Amino acid sequence: MGYLQELLQAFKKASVLVAFWFTFADYEKPYSNDPKHNLDMASYGIVQVRTQKGETYTDMNWEPRKAFEEFRKLW
């Protein structure tokens, strides 16, 4: 179970009605296939910032992470 899932379960158990994830995308830390240049590994964003358009949302330069999908399930 991931960190976000643990938080969501704890919030539900505590009857928390609203929570805020503070970073959607960290545009200063783009993804790279080369691990030496993959600044995305240090990002708190729920999406992976790309230097080119994404595959899932072809008009955006990011790809959703697992955390994004967990949030999407809630909507």
Containing structural domain, residue 24: 3-74
Q: What is the pLDDT of residue 75?
A: 61
Q: What long-range pairs does 59-65 form, CB within 8 A, spacing at least 24?
A: 62/25, 63/31
Query: What's the distance, Cα to Cα, between the start and end of the chain in Å?
Result: 20
pLDDT score for 1? 57
**Among residues 49, 46, 2, 48, which one has the least CA distance to residue 21?**
46
Which residues have CB under 8 Å from 27's CB, separation 6+?
A: 49
pLDDT digits over 7-63, tens only?
888 888 999 887 777 788 999 999 999 999 999 999 988 999 999 999 999 999 999
Give the CA radius of gyration of the chain.
14
Q: How many domains does the chain have?
A: 1
